[in-house]
Amino acid sequence: MLKLMGSVMIFGACAALGLSARQGLRRRVAAADAMLLALGLMEGEISCRRAPIPEIVGQLAENENAVIRTVFGCLSRRLREENGLSLGYQWRASLRDCRDKIGLGQAECDILCEAAAWLGRYDASEQVAGLEQIARRLSAARDTAAGELQNKGNLYRTCGIALGILVVLVLI
């Protein structure tokens, strides 16, 4: 009886690991989608209204999307502290602090961190061009993650279940 209970627990744990890996890929794709939306909103505000970055960050901190709200809320708090750090440093620090909370992958986070080189420049066209380049690269990384989800998502779940079954068969 104990072997059977242990086998069932191991099977459940293996299946849960597979499902967890699949869910992580889903969160990564959703976080990349949200950040692409935020970059698009930033581009529009910079090019059309010529709004300053702190104002744009404040607007995005109130966005209904939880990922955007989390990242830009963190950045907004950092900007309010006015601790003498550059906008670029605060941008990178905010992304790195929020990366795990929002489910963003390391590759996507690194791409977004590179946007710091263009944010806050005097020339709005340079900022927009830089954000467009970052958006293209982030979109490619998002497509890669989506392809991974398509190809490996079911594999993770199946392997977890298969591993659980294998352990059960070995123990019984």
pTM confidence score:
0.78
Q: Among the listed ranges 38-52, 55-69, 145-159, which one has the minimum average pLDDT value? A: 145-159
pLDDT at 51: 77
Q: Residue 134 and residue 119: Cα distance in Å, rounded?
A: 11
Interacting residues of 92 by C-beta distance below 8 A, sequence separation 6+: 113, 116
| Single-letter residue type at 126 | E
Nearest to 58 by CA among 43, 74, 36, 82: 74
- C-alpha pair distances (Å), 14 with each of 32, 50, 96: 28, 52, 30
φ and ψ of 20, to 5 deg: -65, -40
- C-alpha pair distances (Å), 158 with each of 27, 55, 169: 19, 47, 16
pLDDT at 36: 92
SS3 1: coil
pLDDT in tens, 4-40: 676 667 666 666 666 677 788 888 889 999 999 999 9
pLDDT at 18: 67
Please provide the DSSP assignment of 88-145 as one string: HHHHHHHHHHHHHHHT--HHHHHHHHGGGGTTT-S-HHHHHHHHHHHHHHHHHHHHHH
